[in-house]
Amino acid sequence: MPQKICQLCTVDFTLYHLLHPLMRAMRSQGHEVVGVCADGELIEPVRNDGFRVETMPLTRSANPARNWRAGLALRDFFRREKFDIVHVHTPVAAFVGRLAAARARVPRIAYTAHGFYFHENMPAPRRQAHIAAEWFAGRFTHTLMTQSEEDAQTARRLRLCRTGDILAIGNGSDPDVFKPSDAPAVRSATRAAIGTPDDRQVVLMAGRLVAEKGYGELVTAMRDVDAELWAVGARLSSDHAAGISDTIREIEADPALRDRIRFLGYRDDMADLMRAADIFTLPSHREGMPRSIIEAMLTGLPVVATDVRGSREEVVDGETGLLVPVRDAPALAHALQSLVQDPARRHAMGAAGLERGRRLYDERLVIDRQLRHLGLRTT
């Protein structure tokens, strides 16, 4: 039977980059799907694809007054729309949305945790506060899906879903978009547009311009790495995490770094950039289950990442890449330089990552798991 489904997240970036493929898959099964998030320019591509997208006064801030207003607006919206399923994503929208959906008596409330906000490197009092908030919202959750198996195990142990319906769905990307290329001309053209010679090793990093992505340690590490760094990403207007202005000033003041570190901003050609790079790195302090690592693996790149939740599930240390401790610039430098100096190992790790990525991280598999678990696959 066709269902009416709300896909709710906090910001348009998530709606467009993460939820749009899921919305398409649900629509293809005959269901009515409505997207809801804060206003933003990335809503338009989703609307242009034929989806109705409603905006709400959502914010990534923990401000109680703002979230109270958002919760009231969502409750009234849910009551009017009479959804069969409200499917929530991202921390603030997931918390506020679940409470609002419960007050509106939505029959099924599903939550996909793209990585719990609490993590092992967080101070204990703050960690416990976030766990308590997740437990409370879990009293209003019928289905909890996590991306990483580690998060699913944590959710079961902490009883973060009142029904116990908890499933790890994984994460994925499109292997038809992110794939290796045997065309040297494409690689050369991408590098030429950036100003990078063909014979220079390139380390690629993708992530929001916030300190918790590990930019400080990466820049320090690059002093001892014989390669160029491409940093792709922007600071979102909704970001409250500490920025990297000090790191950028450090680069600008040092000619040795300034000539080898390029901030490329927000890009819509990540597949081409990955095909033109040699190594991918993600030295984050915390992650959920990062799609950027999956995309790098599908492109055939070896990965150097920090040993954090999600990343350590994707990267097989010593086989598809290398894992290093969090905030350890010397270890990061050693790992990167070891791959820069060893093309054979680099290529072997890239090939192993490609095989693993295709086998485990095709987004079609992830979407199908969600459809089946929610009872939404009709064909």
Per-residue pLDDT of the chain (379 residues; tens, 9 = 90+): 899 999 999 999 999 999 999 999 999 999 999 999 999 999 999 999 999 999 999 988 878 889 999 999 999 999 999 999 999 999 999 999 999 999 999 999 999 999 998 888 788 999 999 999 999 999 999 999 999 999 999 999 999 999 999 999 999 999 999 999 888 898 999 999 999 999 999 999 999 888 899 999 999 999 999 999 999 988 665 555 666 788 888 888 888 888 899 999 989 899 999 999 999 999 999 998 999 999 999 999 999 999 999 999 999 999 999 999 999 999 999 999 999 999 999 999 999 999 999 999 999 999 999 999 999 987 7
Cβ 42 vs Cβ 12: under 8 Å: yes
CA 207/CA 287 separation, integer angstroms:
11
Look at residues 83, 147, 114 and name the one whose alpha carbon lies nearest to residue 9. Answer: 114
293-311 pLDDT per residue, tens: 999 999 999 999 999 999 9
Show the tokens assigned to 189: 């053209």
For residue 84, the one-letter residue type is D
Nearest to 300 by CA among 147, 170, 182, 148: 182
3-state secondary structure 270-332: HHHHHHHCCEEEECCCCCCCCHHHHHHHHCCCCEEEECCCCHHHHCCECCCEEEECCCCHHHH
Rounded Cα gap, residues 305 and 290, in angstroms: 10
- As a whole number of angstroms, the distance between CA 206 and CA 159 comes to 33
Strands (E), the chain: 4-8, 32-37, 52-55, 85-89, 108-113, 143-146, 166-168, 202-206, 228-232, 261-265, 279-282, 303-306, 321-324
Other CB atoms within 10 A of residue 57 CB: 14
Distance between CA atoms of residues 120 and 134, nearest Å: 16
| Coil vs helix vs strand at 263 | strand
DSSP helix/strand/coil, 147: coil
The pLDDT assigned to 240 comes to 54
- What domains sit in the chain, N to C, each tagged with a CATH number? 4-172+362-373 (3.40.50.2000), 184-360 (3.40.50.2000)
Task: Report the alpha-carbon distance of residue 324 to residue 33 in Å, rounded.
Answer: 41
pLDDT at 288: 87
Q: Which residues contact residue 193 at a Cβ distance below 8 angstroms, ignoring those fewer than 6 apart?
A: none
Please tell me the predicted confidence (pLDDT) of residue 60.
81
pTM (two decimals): 0.88
Q: Give the list of residues 6+ apart from residue 21 with CB closer than 8 angstroms, or none.
A: 174, 363, 367
What's the confidence (pLDDT) of residue 237? 58
- Partners of 303 in beta bridges: 280, 321
Triad 271, 303, 181: Cα angle to 5°: 35
Number of other residues whose CB lies within 10 A of the CB of residue 111: 29
Residues in CB range of 7: below 8 A, 6 or more apart: 15, 19, 22, 23, 33, 34, 35, 36, 87, 89
Give the largest CA-CA distance in the chain.
63
Place of tokens 């899921």: 22
End-to-end, the C-alpha distance of the chain in Å comes to 11
C-alpha dist (Å) from residue 165 to 138, 205, 215, 218? 11, 36, 37, 39
